[in-house]
Amino acid sequence: MNFQPYAVYVNQGTTVATVTFYVHSSVSIGEYTFTLEGRAANGQIYTCNFNLNVTPANSDLDLYVLSNGLTIPRGGDATVDLRVISIGSFSSTGCPSSDDTPYRVSIVFSPGNVYLGPGDSTTYTVRVLIDPNAPSDIYYIPLTMTSLDGSIVRSCTFRVHVLPIS
């Protein structure tokens, strides 16, 4: 969520300002607490806490990885399950992808694109292949599911620890 500071100048009395949140589709469903702060001309600070409840759209996707992460030696591979759930009236083909994967790390989804109707769910097997020359490190792999028309995009990440070849 983006919030731009906005100055409101009041000469005397009370004024009303509207704060509008534009919630990107990648923001997780849940409740968020925000603090709005204002400073009077005399330097006194006033604060107000408020809650924002992000709920699923009438048509949405939810996805999550069924693992805490993988440990893979260089030159090796392993799999993890990605669960995708249709929410509400979602009815489209889900297209999995992994953009911005680390250098020398490859991702293969099985199956490929899958049609999901209202209330459907599916589990993808995500194969992670590590090049023998990949640096030993901890990587966070982004996984994305996009509706066929591109109107809904959901992402999650999971951890891969690449070990040196023993």
C-alpha distance across the termini of the chain, in Å: 44
Give the domains, in start order, of the chain with CATH numbers: 1-55 (no CATH), 59-163 (2.60.40.10)
SS (H, E, C) 104-115: CEEEEEECCCEE
pLDDT of residue 1: 45
Report pLDDT digits (tens) over 47-101: 888 888 777 667 788 888 988 899 999 999 999 999 998 888 888 998 999 988 8
pLDDT of residue 42: 85
For 40-152, strand residue ranges (E) read: 45-54, 59-65, 70-73, 77-88, 92-97, 105-110, 114-116, 121-130, 137-147
CB atoms within 10 A of CB 138: 11
Q: Is 36 helix (H, G, I), strand (E, B) or coil?
A: strand
Higher-confidence position of 94 and 15:
94
